[in-house]
Structure 1
């Protein structure tokens, strides 16, 4: 296998990657480089990098050592430098974990529904589609991203376990919540959108009841009904479903299915976008 096909969900809290060999994830905190007197280990995803002249730390170490607080770029678009760093690190980690020697990659990654526009997608493609050389943990890394496509978050998650009929998808991220409507496997624009609120932007990150209420209120503007089939994905999917059930009686966590090299396995709802992107990629990059 000379070319690797991946689905990459470059979230603000964690990156999730799906491919033929399985899954990977890591904390996407990024902070500026500094000289360490004591080289403490904070997590298995600790990374020291130099990419395009920018030196820094990523992973759990950055969550602890960020001098300026939460070193994360939030917002309703992924067209920025942090996304590039996260995706390059995600690809490097996947190759190192599963398939050393691969140097050609095709990926599908995501963009929030609200900003899934041609000019924003082009910005992401232009910064990723290229040959990349950089340093991670004092190792020289080199690979070429041969092709990039951008899928809508939330709608992309549908393809992690597609079905017919009407499906409402609530994709809860750290910086945004995507509400997507899929009917007969087609995205319905008029009843889909993005909330500029996520788990990490809440004053109280554990107030699932308030978040569920906000999602419901936003969904009513999109003409969602409380008896619709609601499928929830993201890192807190299973925790927030009991609160969403107070508003949507048919709310359930999504159940993504990952087709690996020799089998198909169920995976956690947090990987729904990554698996959905990968399933799309398998068809696009044959």
Structure 2
């Protein structure tokens, strides 16, 4: 029996959603080393062994790895992405599970070649050890969603007319315009900066976002903010417009929307198969 699992491997945090489960951990990977002074371990601290290499992932990597880092590359087709996603699966699935995996890329990376390479990176049988527990996970199918876009579309039953969803990330800011329940491609895209790429105040960061959005959208429609920093940035957006709110589930908005979307898609596929048979 295959389990539908969504893993949103963001640059700041990796979020996982499956039936009845939500999980997250910091997307920080560092080299492993023996600790001489000991440590009080938490659920966000992981020692990960994969393909002969040993890593710290999560909070322990931030504090104990001299080479701890979060990749800020344009592509997600990297070993880091594979490590974060497999770690997420090992944390939430039992050994010898089969997962239909859904993950995502920014709007600017939404092309068939990037999606194909990401699928090839993740498909197959993988064995990974997290905090001493070894699990083998089979991934026979990978689907790649579009960050921000699916979450924006999922709001269509709650919001009328035209609205703009802004997904504030560590490396990029995705924005999606919805009009009468439909995406507007020419009014959607990715800004090439995020909360961790600019060494500026929150006030100036929001000014950068609004400056870029105002060049692309005239006028800027009512906005919905997503992302882990959305709530903290809301007051700064109020300096430009009062027609802005925070998504009701800003941290898990992408992952939860993709889970609901693909659960419906799989149900339709199953129903179609029954009819055809």
Answer yes or no: same fold by TM over 0.5: yes
2:143 corresponds to: 149
1:182-228 CA-to-partner distances (Å, cap 9, x unmatched) read 22333222111112211122214xx22111111111112222424x1
| Alpha-carbon spacing, 1:42–1:233, altered in 2? closer, same or farther (3 Å) | same
Please say if 1:272 is aligned against 2:273.
Answer: no
Partner of 1:86: 84
Where does residue 107 of structure 2 map in the other structure? 113
TM-score (norm 1): 0.87
Whether the 8 Å CA contact 2:15–2:22 is kept in 1: the answer is yes
Partner of 1:71: 69
> CA RMSD, aligned part only?
1.8
Between the aligned partners of 2:219 and 2:12, the Cα distance in structure 1 is: 30
Partner of 2:213: 219
Over 3 Å counting, the alpha-carbon distance change for 1:159 and 1:141 in structure 2 is farther
How does 1:29-108 map onto structure 2 within 5 Å? 29-41=28-40, 43-68=42-67, 70-95=68-93, 100=94, 103-108=97-102
Q: Following TM superposition, by how much is the alpha carbon of 1:35 offset from its aligned partner in structure 2, in angstroms?
A: 2.5
**1:127-157 deviation line (CA, Å, top 9, x unaligned):** 1111111211122111111211111111122
Correspondence 1:177 to 2:194: no
Secondary structure at the counterpart of residue 85 of structure 1: helix
3-state DSSP of counterpart to 1:178 = strand
Q: Secondary structure at the match of 1:190?
A: strand
Alpha-carbon distance between aligned partners in 2 of 1:59 and 1:125, rounded to the nearest angstrom: 24
Alignment of 1:194 onto 2:190? yes
Choose the corresponding residue for 1:247, options 240, 246, 251.
Answer: 240
CA distance in 2, matches of 1:270, 1:136: 24
For structure 2, list consecutive stretches of 5 or more residues without a partner in the other structure: 268-277
Q: Distance in 2 between matches of 1:3 and 1:52?
A: 24
Q: Is the contact made by 1:30 and 1:57 (CA closer than 8 Å) also made in structure 2?
A: yes
Q: Is the 1:159–1:277 contact (alpha carbons within 8 Å) kept by the matching residues of 2?
A: no
- Which segments of 5 or more consecutive residues in structure 1 lack a partner in the other structure? 256-267
Taking the aligned partners of 1:76 and 1:244, their CA distance within structure 2 comes to 26
When normalised by structure 2's length, the TM-score is 0.89
SS at match of 1:191: strand
Q: Find the residue that maps to 2:186 and give its secondary structure.
A: helix
Q: Which residue of 2 aligns with 1:210?
A: 204
Distance 2:30 2:85 in 1: 16
Greater relative contact order (CA < 8 Å, ≥ 6 in sequence): 1
Residues 1:186 and 1:51: Cα distance change in structure 2 (over 3 Å):
farther
- Alpha-carbon separation, structure 2, partners of 1:52 and 1:171: 34
Runs of 4+ in structure 1 deviating by more than 6 angstroms, as ranges, are none
**Which one has a bigger Cα radius of gyration?**
2
Checking the alignment, whether the CA contact within 8 Å between 1:106 and 1:146 is kept in structure 2 is yes
Judging changes above 3 Å, is the alpha-carbon distance between structure 1 residues 151 and 85 closer, same or farther for their aligned structure 2 residues?
same
User: Shift of residue 167 of structure 1?
Assistant: 2.3
CA drift at 1:115: 1.1
